[in-house]
Chains A and B, each alone.
Chain A
């Protein structure tokens, strides 16, 4: 790949450009290292940054062989960051992406921390790191070539001007150069004042405004650069989290209580004749069995579990009573409210027609394809190394230090690939790391904890169920004048470490609440009032301290709240007798939304007409056909989903036959990786719309394996079409996450199109669908 880049003509903000310092000359080698300074740019920023415990690793290293090492505390979560970051750095620096290697996650080898899913902030950081470095290299080249900076061009890491050239590698040869760039931010820590019990999870932010290239000039960003880790994964060379082993290591299996609230009466005993090398370990309600042999640990833990005695507990409403429980809960003030109560009420009261509904969804699971696993080595000197696949290593580091009551500085987290987890560890917690660290501290040996499938399904946090009341008013021209919505759910921020709770050790302390996650595409709806209510975890008063812990999951909050909003829009369009696309376009002037809706509708061969479908019934009368759409804007991006489905009334089965998804995510970094995220996000979204539901009784989660918690299979996947719009003038947008959230409302609308019935609950299981169809038959 040949990259020709003009030197940016943008007038740089010269308020601050860090200068290179030469630490020394070297006989061999040579490197330019980009490290961090706490900010001195503004008084505000400098006040915001405590000097405590900042990481020290360099951010970027440019070596005299032309290789570049980039470090980021964020980790690959399966959506392509490990490819996007080199692409972004390559374009700002004017090098080929293949010259860039990445270290991710490890807290002792990366500087910044931050959310792995927070791509926008991560990308902006690295873009600035590269831009600062580029400016420093230009100045260095200017000295060497005796040419002013504005006469230089850069191609593939070679600076040229006036017929002369010098490579980046030559610029740094035999020298050790330091470039210190300004950052703000604070180290992660357990913080009782924070809403989720933790602060500093954002990691560091690069300050200042180095001149950056216009995105229209990018050559690497915008191409389908392959994801770097794939060949090793395909060849069996990747070291996964589950593959790490240490000398003297013990395998552990946890013996969890029978309910989420039970406490220990007596731990079971081990038959040493059967399990000669195994040992039972108990700390309050944390019970585990360890052995040098993994299968012995598993077998022995089962034997111990069968004889361990626990108290009984029945503090949950049961999943079949969840909706009634949430509706009858004595809600007080909302956690968050947006918009005018009075103006919205006035507009609703004067509307010609009102449409209102109550929508709901049960608890669902992140459901990684592997139960979580971790390895910890807590040493006698109080230092600890923990191997993890968390998506927020610094946050987890803070939690581990807090639980073990050891210094943050003495905890090192090492990151490895593992099963995708879809937001479960965004706040650092909810893995097996706590169990491993506690057991290792007790046993003075490295301990590897692998949760079994049932442990993971029953004891990990879930994405809580919810109910939303929503209503809109229409005027005489079938325009919506106001929308009022009230969303009710449970807290979704509980990243406490479950092993620490059971062991009675210190944990973070998240607060109940919820938030409004919708972003508003309908600027022509003049009034709206949104409220979000969040009660504590179900069973929050459990004697064990655990209960049904709630956590965010992919497209958090907005995935939930977009379903009622867009479903209501579809109901209102039907009430107005209008085509659902035309109805939406009448309520927005956002050109990005309009263009994407039109492009996606064209790809789906959408024929404008109102729902329901007058031709829904198939020729043989056995099936009903429907189509529906929805849209969403999120994080500077627009998304549109169009579903076509077939309903078989005799069985209640829904098959999505075609799904068309459109995305405008600003400047597309990697069209192919974006397509993969769109395709796979649709699979998860359809899975949520049709299948996923956590069941629980009054004490415990009962859907504890893949036959109890069903997800979409390959045969159930429709043909999926993708539409992408890239824009050079809108910056980056989040592209990896939102695709799942535009499926449920589109599929629900397609169900109404096919049957004339508005479904107000997902998942649309055969039992629920059969019930809906039966109700209508009985009524008619």
Chain B
């Protein structure tokens, strides 16, 4: 009871009353653990009673198991975890023990934001508990101070933790008792999450090596689709503590702009939706966030809105290419009320605090429920106010998509978190990280890494491959001493080969591979970043739009592109190449089901009642229901609406080309895989070349009219077996392969960004390795990365599911309304090389046709 005596007198009184205020005191809780009791008392000190999640975590805390706390934003998760933890640490004070709690945040901005909150919390619990912050932004002076006097609680990022473990700063972490993982659903994603799981394993190994117990893991998460998978990622024995009941359901609704045209899906329906958005901005209570799909679109929408709105209405845009200053300006403009609308990309979804946002709109259907929820969460969340968002459809097909997304969201569906396992490039960096801790045998390495979520059950051969690569660089590079990053001693223990190898490892920590970009400078201010390839096309005097302003290029310097402001010019919006994100499986499945339902409704309802039936089914205005009904009727007349239970294909014969449209509803990436494989198989059978294109709903292959098709051949081309092999051989030598090699080489630290003039590029490295060592481990890693990034597994699943369905092959002489939007994409995505050389020749000829008119005019 000595600890209790420390609490101030008034607090004791408050605490004494607190249990009486609790409506749900049960007998078991009477014998509550001292930490649980003190945590409760601490919360009630501030005059509030613990929330459901706090009660649950306080109760579970004394069991000392790993824990995943799942609760909505604003439910007091952080306090739920940190209060008992800090009380616990404070009760077992160990002078000079170094850091006791490591708090990991997904991004620097969030780490910065937590520093203040946690300092205040720690000070309130025990003034002697210090909180420190170490991220990539921390100065070397501050880092040295953190090393001399390690704080009890260290807030950091996954990369900074790995760096600390790779240097002698690790000594400050030798007595860590707990690791807190904030926003675990973001931390555990992709290759970055895989590397973090290995880094946590390395931390465990280090603490155990110093006689301690592996730190306890406490994770916090928003609602996720598969909490068991998430818990298993955190720790094999982690328990889930969920308090989702308190969450206020998100208020998601559908805007009702007038969609006059039935199917303008290929382009963006500026004319129909712009006035609607502008009116919403004019009447907004605080400020509006308008989410769009790309940076280019953010810039052009901001510009268009500024054109039609009075000047007193402030409009800005926000995306990943803007400078930190420009982003801060946006936040400042929102809080002082000078900004009324921010057009943003998903860059804004995480980690930026935006005041006064009352309305969140998404333009077009979001590609996933997760993304929609994140967008909705950006609305000013006061307690009790639900996250909310309005979906603005831009065409009749998009309207159906929006309705599908809303119904999936209402049904509580979510996409699973992208957890990666056994990526070879990550394994290489993870092994380096474990070896950087100190000499270790292959068996120990396998045991330590094999206990982490990303490499669970790691097989000896895979580890041997990675160790061979780290020891030699692979057969083609074996002649280089510097490629031998690790050496093996007589006892079979691996160690870093030199101080240089350690420096190189520390320099290359992380999995984020940035695209080349060029800084845009106005005077001494950085306006933002331009895509390197786009910037290289601009000459002096050329104009472009960035951060909502038009700039003229005044010159170039070593720091970047020098610009001056210029008159607004809507034609000057830059284009950033880049893949469109594919709609998630949850979304495409729901969309497919909704088309089926609409088709059935149209087939079974008497014609006069169809409109009102569509209105009910879609929950939208009569005007918009009419647009969708017109589309469904037209599709049924011309062809058929793709339905569940059958695999609908259209073969559209025009005099020049045949277009095979496959309604797979597998997302545009998987559809591209399918289309490329069908093109490759078609080529193998007929020796005819084909163009491919992909859409979220359908894949499209275009080929010569000389090819004749029967259902049997089609079945063979659509077989899911051999998809991987056929796709990879179709891609061999293509530019895509080289682009993905860059990521793999960077993560495996074979290639690190090198500012030296004439330095080796990943492209050159790729070409040389492909020629001299085609079996190189990184080329295999590249294939796997490419296959996963292009959603190959989803393509296999889609074709497998349809292999047993009846084929509904429709032979048409003109594109059906559905096919129009697929072919519209096809027109824009000029080539996709199933035969790279042929495709490049096609592209060169296309360029010739395009330039000829210009040259003839000149």
The reply to whether chain A is a binding partner of chain B is: no
